Structure 1
Amino acid sequence: MAVENFGDTPEEFDFDSWLDQGGRAQRTVTVYSNWTLMDELARLEKAIETSEQDEDPAMDEVGAEELREQYEGILAELEASGKQFTLRSLTNEEVALISAGIPDIEQTFRDQHGKEQARWKPDRVAVGDALVAEALVSPTLTRDQVRAMRVKLGDGPTLVLYQTVGELREAGQAMPSIPTSPGRSDDSRD
């Protein structure tokens, strides 16, 4: 990718063209939908370990090699259930705007005297769903679809989406280091 010359002097600088070539940080992650296979994988791992330790297997026992083949088949099923999601970083302004649009929920707690109290606080789960929906570049999902995915698959399998939004937010707060060519021993750019 060639770098365009946007002007050699401040008077010639073409800000709009320079800005048009830019973009926000993005990251692609995979979410797997068939987590019901995890128990089978764990069972097979134990069976493989037991089979490898058994020095005198019975004739009707399944060998470690066959168990590994079963494991690879289940792992392939899990991988086939994966879908890649691309997310982009969000600005502070976007996060504030999205968060402000989420209604507070009433949360009850017991105070130091054991008396039940209630207070209104932001619905952190709804804010998380909204931030993921806003950050998704491909495929695009609504807040309701993000929520439905989280509810159906569980917090664990979808956690990668919420973590990626957070990581991209943190990355957007600091100036990234500029990579150098492999094998270059100094920071010169000539």
Structure 2
Amino acid sequence: MTTPQDFDIDAWLEDAERPARSVTVYQKAGLIADLDALQERIENAEDEDVDGPSAGGGSLRSQYAKLAKQFHDSALVIKLEGRSDAEKSALAKANPGLTGTQLGYITIADAIQSPKVTPAQLEKLADKIGETQFNQIIARFHEACTEVPAVSADFLPKRSTPDDGGE
């Protein structure tokens, strides 16, 4: 057991990391409209149309599964590392005369750890994936810069019986 007297801060600092966050964006977000339409057809269809042949394209359920897989396969996980106010200011000073938007692309591109992107690629990404998904990238960047790192298990299913350790 390590005590305060024999704690090696230098060894600890060698493995220290900055706060980072990740966000998933989707290349094929437009498939959601097709999935919505198929969901409605499934909810209103007869059982044999849901699980059986449907106009040569397979069952409605299999069509839905195929589109859902295409959507999920288009996922891109972006990892962003936090930046201090001093680092953001240094980027602004190193790039004078830019608009706030242009400086934002430079700052976020600098913070993205994977996949590596240039500010121009990030601007194109923003245009292609749309404002809603891009705002999620910005939000995760701000979280990495300002929030204290913490682990949350709130998303995990709760156990339902006392025997399982539940309530």
Normalised by the length of structure 1, the TM-score is 0.63
* 1:44 paired to 2:30: no
Q: CA deviation at 1:156?
A: 2.3
Whole-angstrom CA distance in 2 between matches of 1:168 and 1:37 = 30
CA contact (8 A) 2:80 2:114 kept: yes
- Which residue is equivalent to 1:95? 88
Whole-angstrom CA distance in 1 between matches of 2:43 and 2:112 = 41
Q: CA deviation at 1:93?
A: 0.9
CA contact (8 A) 1:6 1:18 kept: no
- Judged with a 3 Å threshold, the aligned counterparts in structure 2 of structure 1 residues 93 and 71 are, in CA distance, closer, same or farther, namely same
The structure 1 residue matched to 2:113, chosen from 113, 137, 140, is 137
CA contact (8 A) 1:28 1:84 kept: yes
- Judged with a 3 Å threshold, the aligned counterparts in structure 2 of structure 1 residues 18 and 150 are, in CA distance, closer, same or farther, namely same
* 1:28 paired to 2:4: no
Residue identity matched to 1:146: L
Whole-angstrom CA distance in 2 between matches of 1:178 and 1:75 = 29
Look at both structures and tell me which one has the larger radius of gyration over its CA atoms. 1
Whole-angstrom CA distance in 1 between matches of 2:62 and 2:23 = 27
* 1:159 paired to 2:152: no
Q: CA deviation at 1:73?
A: 0.9
* 1:147 paired to 2:123: yes
CA contact (8 A) 1:33 1:157 kept: no
Q: CA deviation at 1:177?
A: 6.1
The alignment of Structure 1 onto Structure 2 pairs a total of residues equal to 144
Residue identity matched to 1:46: E
Normalised by the length of structure 2, the TM-score is 0.71
CA RMSD of aligned residues (A): 2.9
- Which residue is equivalent to 2:158? none
Where structure 1 has 5 or more consecutive residues not aligned to the other structure, the ranges are 52-56, 105-122, 180-190
Whole-angstrom CA distance in 1 between matches of 2:96 and 2:132 = 23
Whole-angstrom CA distance in 1 between matches of 2:125 and 2:34 = 22
Q: Deviations over 1:57-100 (max 9, x none)?
A: 5xxx9723332221111010011111222111111111222344
Residue identity matched to 2:5: D
- Which residue is equivalent to 1:74? 67
CA contact (8 A) 1:6 1:17 kept: no
Where structure 2 has 5 or more consecutive residues not aligned to the other structure, the ranges are 52-58, 153-167
CA contact (8 A) 1:27 1:164 kept: yes
Question: 3-state SS of the aligned residue for 2:30?
Answer: helix
Whole-angstrom CA distance in 2 between matches of 1:155 and 1:17 = 43
The structure whose residues are more often helix, as a share, is 2
